[in-house]
A and B are shown apart, each in its own frame.
Chain A
């Protein structure tokens, strides 16, 4: 055990000397900050509260305008003004007196099903507000559609289900748990694997692995030491992120289970890294194969039901059930088998190239 710890300690000392670990954490912080910025920015484009004017003004005309007005009364922040004809409504839009034009007319649908209401909506081109405007208009038109469907219920075999009341929820909530937390938890996993690939291929490249083998350590112990260092730093980083989130008023549930899951995945990725370092002819090929391998592994796993990203999301948001726990155990078992297998094969055959 002692020699393994020595190798692991040497690995960590190297990381500290080059301050690469700081760079790694900086990169992760950047990704977290920027993805949050992205979502906050995007959502604020859709958020009616982001509009300077609290209310959007729609210039409406046409013979079905009364229905539109009734529907708009149900939607907050939308005002409808009726104009005599479409031209007048368009004038109001051009004068900036209205944010959008809606012309609603009853027309014969042509299939014997009665009248249909054709609404022509004109929205301003290319402004920041357009997105919010369209979202609000959609609300109005959906309310209108619901009204109309209720009136025509006799012609429908099944009537639509009544909608529950709207609730004020933060749009960032789902993003935080389903994207941000899994990303922050898995970034250290990839970094650890990449470190192992670099560490092993560099030793082979510079011939220091041969020197190390003269020392009284076995090849298996060297691999163990390198893997130990790489696996140890991953949960530490993840814990840092989770604590930071918690300090930021984002409660994260099941932290120990999440850490177990990500440690298991780190071991799995490290096993992959060791295997690739043993097989690939040089560092370039090894890093290339590792990138592809990790991409394929995680891409494939995320697509599966109960993939690791989803498991972390469910654990963090506190919606985990017995299946999630079983999954964590399964991942740990797979990782253990993979690592022990790879280590055994490499220790037997060596890094022969």
Chain B
């Protein structure tokens, strides 16, 4: 064991030395110089005021008279550009024509006619072109006027008249309910607290609210950099940062923002950025071994493939941990952030390892790397957006980072739930790639698909035919040969869930009438592929004898493996994914059923097993007869499975 570790470390040292030579000092200097030049340009531009990160700059054209007060509002909104009102025609040279109505306001606040000529503006007439663009421009204009009004009011001397309303917003949970009793119950104290907040200019979010703040979250306000607490005493622009759940905010109505952990999310994203550079270097290093048979000397040494790969990966893992720690220190994250990001880094490396083992050229590797980045980034980032909304967000470890940055407490169970699946997934990816870390696969130009089958077949034991006869005879030997089949299927479960989650997410945008049937078929297909692709690999690589008996046996083994693993992942139900309608369609087979008699329950619990057994036996028989038959039986099994799922969903309603 110590020996193995020592050998692994030796490879790691060698890899570090080599990689250090790859990205030499000159390259780093060049990169730094590039960044400095651009940073200087952008910084200088920012200082000079010609730079702004507004991708929507000037996309809507508003025809407005120069003398109109609305021209100022248009001027200060980046998305709007003013065009002369003379000769402007809707749809061709302008999307919006704004004319203000002037007059003397009556006491009751309604428009008092136009008698007063150039008196105050009492109303506005907006004509928009009759397109989606016109409507969007009108909405943008309304927002611009609102923002303009906020700025006008911020300049007023009489703050009370300018901001007559001071709002304190608190989030409480209905079940606990009592924590705010002291403040809300007595009217007197309510007045007191709110009054304090108001006297402070109404702009601070943490000033006078301590009395009413029943929650434990203070870090959120700091991390949010709340736009409401301007030092200039103004409440000017509605903030995008905003507080999060648990934090109380005080301000004018315009400064209220819905609870969205914008800043924390942005900071969490920073953790993912270095991964992309890391996997580029790592992928290159692995593929380098494979070009020009460079890795051959290492393979013929007493080092085992596991030691070589572990040694080559170690420096990158260490680098990832170091960078993550640095970022955590920089953005104010704690050890939890590092712990949470670590499995993500492993998954990035694992997927890249598989990609580099399968790719035939650097070009292919580049696309694989980009694909890995995109997939894993979205998988980690998208659920984190719903951090405060639904517990499903915990499928991504990044959610833990958001919690950590908000200063919210998480339980050990949450941490395990968020990090374990990804760690296991990363381990399985490494195992998959290791299967082809051998001479006959590393230095050949096989298509990705064939190499994938190789990697799967390596993990299988011979079943049936001559190969079987030499080993322990009888039922026990046969069972021992079938165990890897079931195990491999079980290992596929995490990836099946990821794929299904992705499918749910992608189809989320479609109307339910379309998305549910498509989803049912997609999910059936994903599961059928997961249960049968290694069987196909076994038959193609000659590990399994091509007889119907063997086909049915391995099919049944695969079904059992899938069934057991799926039952083990009942956690899906625990986190409440099944509460979502689409989630129920996806994971309906593991959803609970209440109010049924015991025999029916037992029957229902084992119904999936019967289904998996039938469909997998069908595909296995197809797989034993070659590719075309396999594809056909796969389609058949998918339809069967989808029909079953549809029945389950309609029963569950």
Given contacts A198-B362, A283-B362, A319-B60, contact A96 B55 (CB under 8 A): no
Given contacts A118-B166, A130-B259, A319-B58, contact A27 B374 (CB under 8 A): yes
A285 CB → nearest B CB, Å: 4
Establish whether residues A161 and B281, one from each chain, have CB atoms under 8 Å apart when the complex forms: no
Establish whether residues A288 and B256, one from each chain, have CB atoms under 8 Å apart when the complex forms: no
Establish whether residues B140 and A160, one from each chain, have CB atoms under 8 Å apart when the complex forms: no
B103 CB → nearest A CB, Å: 11
B145 CB → nearest A CB, Å: 6
* B162-200, CB < 8 A from A: 162-174, 177, 180-181, 184-185, 187, 190-191, 194-195, 197-199
- Which of A108, A167, A202, A205 is within 8 Å of B139, CB to CB? A167
Q: Report the bound CA distance from A314 to B126 in whole Å.
A: 22
A305 at the interface (CB under 8 A from B): yes
Given contacts A117-B165, A164-B138, contact A131 B38 (CB under 8 A): no
CB-nearest residue of chain A to B69: A161
Given contacts A121-B168, A121-B169, A174-B59, contact A111 B199 (CB under 8 A): yes
Chain B interface, number of residues (Cβ within 8 angstroms): 134
B509 at the interface (CB under 8 A from A): yes
* A269-305, CB < 8 A from B: 279-285, 287-289, 291-293, 296-297, 299-300, 302-305
Scan B90-116; emit 1 where CB is below 8 A from any A CB, else 0: 000001001000000100010000000
Contacts of A150 in B (CB 8 A): 109
CB-nearest residue of chain B to A124: B174
CB-nearest residue of chain A to B148: A161
A182 at the interface (CB under 8 A from B): yes
CB-nearest residue of chain B to A101: B184
Total contacts A-B at CB 8 Å: 379
Establish whether residues A159 and B120, one from each chain, have CB atoms under 8 Å apart when the complex forms: yes
Given contacts A149-B164, A285-B23, contact A120 B133 (CB under 8 A): no
* B252-278, CB < 8 A from A: 252-254, 256-260, 276-277
A103 at the interface (CB under 8 A from B): yes
Establish whether residues B172 and A287, one from each chain, have CB atoms under 8 Å apart when the complex forms: no
A75 CB → nearest B CB, Å: 12
- Which of B123, B161, B246 is within 8 Å of A114, CB to CB? B161
Q: Which of B45-53, B532-540, B591-599 contacts A (4 or more CB under 8 A)?
A: B45-53
Establish whether residues B506 and A34, one from each chain, have CB atoms under 8 Å apart when the complex forms: yes
A89 CB → nearest B CB, Å: 8
Establish whether residues A161 and B27, one from each chain, have CB atoms under 8 Å apart when the complex forms: no
Establish whether residues B363 and A198, one from each chain, have CB atoms under 8 Å apart when the complex forms: yes
- A contacts, CB < 8 Å to B: 14-15, 18, 20, 23-24, 26-27, 30-31, 33-34, 36-38, 40-42, 45-46, 62, 85-87, 90, 93-94, 96, 101, 103, 105, 107-111, 113-128, 130-132, 134-135, 137-138, 141-142, 144-145, 148-150, 152-153, 155-170, 173-174, 177-179, 182, 191, 194-195, 198-199, 201-202, 205-206, 279-285, 287-289, 291-293, 296-297, 299-300, 302-306, 309-310, 313-314, 317-319
Shortest 7 CB-CB contacts between residues of A and residues of B: A113-B160, A118-B194, A141-B253, A169-B135, A148-B164, A155-B161, A296-B38
- B contacts, CB < 8 Å to A: 19, 22-24, 26-27, 30-31, 34-35, 37-38, 41-42, 45-46, 50-61, 69-70, 73, 79, 81, 95, 98, 105, 109, 120-124, 126, 128, 132-133, 135-136, 138-142, 145-146, 148-149, 152-153, 156-174, 177, 180-181, 184-185, 187, 190-191, 194-195, 197-199, 212, 245-246, 252-254, 256-260, 276-277, 280-281, 284-285, 288, 291-292, 360-368, 370-371, 374-375, 378, 382, 385, 388-390, 505-506, 508-509
- Sample of 12 more A-B contacts, CB < 8 Å, known A18-B363, A45-B258, A291-B276: A41-B508, A62-B187, A85-B187, A116-B163, A144-B165, A156-B153, A161-B70, A161-B124, A285-B23, A288-B31, A289-B34, A310-B56
